[in-house]
C-alpha cells in the first residue's frame, strides 16, 4: 500500500471517529436539553399542584362543609403556564382529603402531571382551654426548686419537666400537633378595636391588666416575635404570630397576667419570684415550651373561661401531605 493510500485510509478512519463523536455529543446535548426541559416542567407542575392545595385551604377556610360535588376548583399560575385542578373528598369528622393536580401544558392534553394529596382539618379540641401548658411538641425545664406548674399540661412530643413539680396531670397526645389555628382575622379586628394590635416595627406598650372591660379580655395581637424582658408585668390574651409563625420569650423578672398563644416556640429564662407567677393564666405553644429553670405557671380558670366565652373560630389547616406519584418514571 502506498503512502497516499495509507493517508487516505487514516483520514477516513479519523473522519468516521469524528463523525461518531459528533453524533454522540449531539445526541447527549439533545438528551440533556430534553431532561432539563422535563425537570423544569416537573417543577412547574408541582407548583401548580401546590397552588391547587392553597386554593383548597382558602376555600375550606371560607366554608369547610362545602359539597365535594360542587367543589370543582381549577386555575393557572401567572408566569408559569399550565393548569391545576382540585378534587375534594367528603367530610369525615373534622377532616377533608384534598387531591390536587398540576398539568403542563394543559389539563386536557398534559405532557407532565403532578399529583399531591393532603388532609385538611379544622380541629376543635374539646379541652383546649383546660390546660396550664398546652404544647404541640415538647415541654422542658423545671430544674430549680422554685419552678412549678399549677394545673394540667398536655404535649404532643416529649416531656422532661419533673412530674413532681406539676400539680395536675401530664398527658402525652399526638393529636395536639399541629396546634389548632385560631381565626386570626377575627382576633386582629378585636385587637385593633381595643387599640391592642402591634406589628414588629416598634416596641409596643402592652396592657398590664387581663381585663379590657368587665368580662372582656384585652386581646393583644403581636405580628412578630414577642420578647418581654426586664422587670415588667403585662396582661391580656396575647396572640403571637397569626399567619406567620413567630416565637415568644419571657426573660428576667417579667410576668403575664393572662394567657399567651404562640405559633412558634416559647421560652422562659429568669423568674423565680415565689410571690408571683411568670404566667398566671395559661400557655399554648405551637412549637416546644422551654419553661426554664425557675419558671412558675399557674392555670387561671376565670381568664380561660373569659377567652372560651369569646367563641373564637378555628381555621382549616393542613395536617398531612404526600406526593402520590413517581416523578421519574422509567418509560
- pLDDT, one tens digit per residue, over 119-148 is 998 876 779 999 999 999 999 998 888 889
Question: Where does residue 26 fall: left (phi above 0), alpha (psi -120 to 50 degrees), or beta otherwise?
Answer: alpha
Task: State yes or no: pLDDT of 275 exceeds 70.
Answer: no
Cα(306)–Cα(160) distance, integer angstroms: 31
Q: What is the pLDDT of residue 331?
A: 47
**What is the spatial order of strands in the sheet that 139-140 belongs to?**
139-140, 289-290, 266-270, 248-252, 226-228
ω into 178 cis (within 30 of 0) = yes
ω into 105 cis (within 30 of 0) = yes
Q: Among 5-9, 36-40, 282-286, where is mean pLDDT lowest?
A: 5-9
Is-above-0.85 flag for pTM? no
The 10s digit of each residue's pLDDT in 171-186 is: 999 989 989 999 899 9
The 10s digit of each residue's pLDDT in 7-18 is: 676 777 777 777
Residue 9 C-alpha cell reads as 485510509
Calculate Rg over the CA atoms of the chain.
29
In sequence order, the β-bridge partners of residue 321 are 118
The 10s digit of each residue's pLDDT in 220-259 is: 999 999 988 878 889 999 999 888 899 998 887 888 999 9
Amino acid at each position: 500500500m502506498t503512502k497516499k493510500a495509507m493517508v487516505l485510509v487514516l483520514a477516513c478512519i479519523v473522519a468516521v471517529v469524528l463523525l461518531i463523536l459528533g453524533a454522540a455529543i449531539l445526541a447527549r446535548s439533545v438528551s440533556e436539553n430534553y431532561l432539563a426541559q422535563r425537570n423544569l416542567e416537573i417543577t412547574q407542575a408541582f407548583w401548580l399542584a401546590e397552588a391547587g392545595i392553597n386554593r383548597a385551604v382558602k376555600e375550606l377556610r371560607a366554608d369547610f362543609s362545602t359539597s365535594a360535588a360542587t367543589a370543582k376548583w381549577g386555575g393557572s399560575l401567572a408566569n408559569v403556564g399550565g393548569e391545576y385542578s382540585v378534587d375534594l373528598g367528603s367530610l369525615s369528622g373534622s377532616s377533608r382529603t384534598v387531591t390536587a393536580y398540576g398539568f403542563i401544558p394543559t389539563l386536557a392534553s398534559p405532557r407532565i402531571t403532578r399529583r399531591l394529596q393532603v388532609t385538611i382539618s379544622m380541629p376543635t379540641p374539646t379541652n383546649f382551654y383546660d390546660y396550664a401548658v398546652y404544647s404541640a411538641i415538647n415541654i422542658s425545664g423545671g430544674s430549680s426548686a422554685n419552678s412549678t406548674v399549677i394545673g394540667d399540661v398536655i404535649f404532643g412530643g416529649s416531656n422532661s419537666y419533673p412530674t413532681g413539680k406539676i400539680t395536675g396531670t401530664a398527658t402525652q397526645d399526638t393529636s395536639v400537633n399541629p396546634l389548632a389555628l385560631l381565626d386570626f382575622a377575627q382576633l386582629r379586628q378585636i385587637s385593633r378595636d381595643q387599640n391592642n394590635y402591634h406589628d414588629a416595627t416598634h416596641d409596643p406598650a402592652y396592657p398590664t391588666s387581663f381585663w379590657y372591660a368587665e368580662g372582656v379580655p384585652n386581646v393583644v395581637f403581636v405580628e412578630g416575635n414577642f420578647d418581654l424582658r426586664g422587670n415588667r408585668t403585662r396582661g391580656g390574651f396575647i396572640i403571637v404570630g397569626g399567619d406567620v409563625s413567630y416565637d415568644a420569650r419571657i426573660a428576667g423578672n417579667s410576668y403575664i397576667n393572662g394567657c399567651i398563644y404562640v405559633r412558634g416556640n416559647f421560652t422562659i429564662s429568669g423568674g423565680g419570684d415565689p410571690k408571683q407567677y411568670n404566667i398566671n393564666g395559661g400557655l399554648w405553644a405551637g412549637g416546644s415550651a422551654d419553661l426554664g429553670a425557675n419558671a412558675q405557671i399557674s392555670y387561671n380558670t376565670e381568664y380561660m373561661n373569659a377567652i372560651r366565652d369569646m367563641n373564637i373560630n378555628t381555621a382549616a389547616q393542613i395536617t398531612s401531605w404526600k406526593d402520590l406519584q413517581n416523578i421519574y418514571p422509567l418509560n
